[in-house]
Structure 1
């Protein structure tokens, strides 16, 4: 296991290097003069040239990339153009709200998705199956921003129980978490139903039923345990989506997380923040994929990681 983890961590290095090169090149293609943005729109030509020298924009592109990469390796992500704060401290302030929102949305959506998927599989072809899967299709089809606006319009504003923006108290997370996790719950329900039915048709399940084992034992020990392997893959991908894909939801609810920070940075063309956030989102997905592979061996000891 340890050898496998070390090898996978080493494999992350070239992937992150390629991504960093692509991100750096993409940022350089964006319109606007970083020196002008840093110095301010009303700054003099001398101030702009001073900012250009300070930011190293007169250096060749390979030198700029090397300087940025070296700083990133050592934890120096640069300074924001808007507030002149260290980028790392700005990201740290937004990471916890995004993590809390992702965990809240993930928790309820996974539980509900698994329950709906299992019940739908057990009631295959009956009205319960059709009803639950119709709800799942509706959840997948509804855009998160539209659901968020509906919750604000018909839940938050009429009753005044939940806040429509910001994060000032624990209850403020409820509506954003529902909005963020709705599509995940729908995807998990359909995927769980499919995985459950696929495993239920295996020969060892038929043998267990033929031996007269209790239906509950067959369902949870033989079917659900083996169906969890593909489900875990989906769980990991969906959690990565929640961490990196909460941009729209955070914008709707003005949630002070990384998604909202990215939108604001794009509006103000704050390039160091954009670069750092994109790299962080990529690193999160790679790390989550590694954790998913490790969970395979935990769920099914027959799997050996090499």
Structure 2
């Protein structure tokens, strides 16, 4: 297990290097003058040139990249062009609201998706199955921003039970979490149903039923535990999606998280913040995939995580 973990951590290094190079190149292709943005729209030419020298924009591109990469490794992400605050402080302010939103949306999607998927599988071919799967298809088809607008229009505004802007109290997270997690719940419901029905056809399940074991015991001990193995993979990938997908939801509900910060940074062409956020999202996604692989061994120890010798 330890050797596998070390190998996976080492594999992350070239991936992050390639991503950092692509992000740096993409940022350099964006329109606008970073020195002008940093100095201010009304700054004289002398101030703009001083800002250009201060930011190292006169250096060759390879040198700029290495300087930025070195700061990234040391945790020095520079300062924002608009407020001259350290980028790490700005990101830290939005990190927890985004994490709380992702966790709440994840909990909602897991609870709803597993319940719908299992019930649909147990009622296969019946009206409950058709109804629940039709709702799941509708959930997959509906864009999150549209669901958010519907919840604001028909739930928040008529009854005044929930805030539709900001994060001032715990109840403010309910509508954004439902919006963020509903499409994931729909995907999870269909995936859980398929995995459940596939495992239910295995020989060891038929043997357990032939031995006269209670149906509830067969369902939860033999079917559910093994059906969760592929579901766990999907859970990890979907959590990464929730972190990235929060960008749209945070914009709809003016949620003060990283997604909202990214949108605002793109609007103002705040390049250091954009670079840092993209790298953070990629790093989170890679780490989540690693944790999912490690969780495999907990659910099913028979899965071999170590690399097979050639």
TM-score range normalised by the length of the shorter chain: over 0.9
Q: Distance in 1 between matches of 2:293 and 2:88?
A: 29
1:254: how far off?
0.3
Residue 84 of structure 1 is matched in structure 2 by 84
1:257 matches 2:239: no
Q: Which whole-Å deviations, capped at 9, do the CAs of 1:255-300 have from their partners, x for residues lacking one?
A: 0000000000000000000000000000011000000000100001
Q: Which whole-Å deviations, capped at 9, do the CAs of 1:223-282 have from their partners, x for residues lacking one?
A: 111111100000000101111210000000000000000000000000000000000000
1:50 matches 2:50: yes
Q: Distance in 1 between matches of 2:304 and 2:137?
A: 36
Residues 110, 188 of structure 2: 8 Å contact kept: yes
Residue 209 of structure 1 is matched in structure 2 by 209
Residue 124 of structure 2 is matched in structure 1 by 124
Residue 281 of structure 1 is matched in structure 2 by 281
Q: Distance in 2 between matches of 1:83 and 1:239?
A: 32
Residue 219 of structure 2 is matched in structure 1 by 219
1:190 matches 2:190: yes
Q: Distance in 1 between matches of 2:212 and 2:60?
A: 74
1:169 matches 2:169: yes
Q: Distance in 2 between matches of 1:51 and 1:60?
A: 16
Q: Distance in 1 between matches of 2:246 and 2:108?
A: 16
Q: Distance in 1 between matches of 2:164 and 2:118?
A: 34
1:207: how far off?
1.2
1:84: how far off?
0.6
TM-score by length of 2: 0.98
Kindly report which structure 2 residues correspond to 1:1-306, keeping only aligned pairs within 5 A, or say none. 1-306=1-306
Q: Distance in 1 between matches of 2:57 and 2:145?
A: 38
Q: Which whole-Å deviations, capped at 9, do the CAs of 1:58-104 have from their partners, x for residues lacking one?
A: 00000000000000000000100111100011101100000000000
Q: Distance in 2 between matches of 1:215 and 1:155?
A: 41
SS at match of 1:245: helix
SS at match of 1:164: coil
Q: Distance in 2 between matches of 1:220 and 1:82?
A: 55
Q: Distance in 1 between matches of 2:154 and 2:82?
A: 36
Q: Distance in 1 between matches of 2:162 and 2:208?
A: 50
1:304: how far off?
2.4
Aligned-residue Cα RMSD (Å) equals 0.7
Kindly report structure 1 stretches of 4+ aligned residues shifted beyond 6 Å.
none
1:154: how far off?
1.0
Q: Which whole-Å deviations, capped at 9, do the CAs of 1:101-159 have from their partners, x for residues lacking one?
A: 00001101101100110110010000000000011011111111011111111111111
Q: Distance in 1 between matches of 2:199 and 2:172?
A: 40
Q: Distance in 2 between matches of 1:184 and 1:293?
A: 20
- Structure 1: segments with no counterpart, 5+ residues: none
Residues 91, 258 of structure 2: 8 Å contact kept: yes
Q: Which whole-Å deviations, capped at 9, do the CAs of 1:145-192 have from their partners, x for residues lacking one?
A: 011111111111111111010000011001100100010110110000
Residues 165, 254 of structure 2: 8 Å contact kept: yes
- Provide the aligned length of Structure 1 versus Structure 2: 306
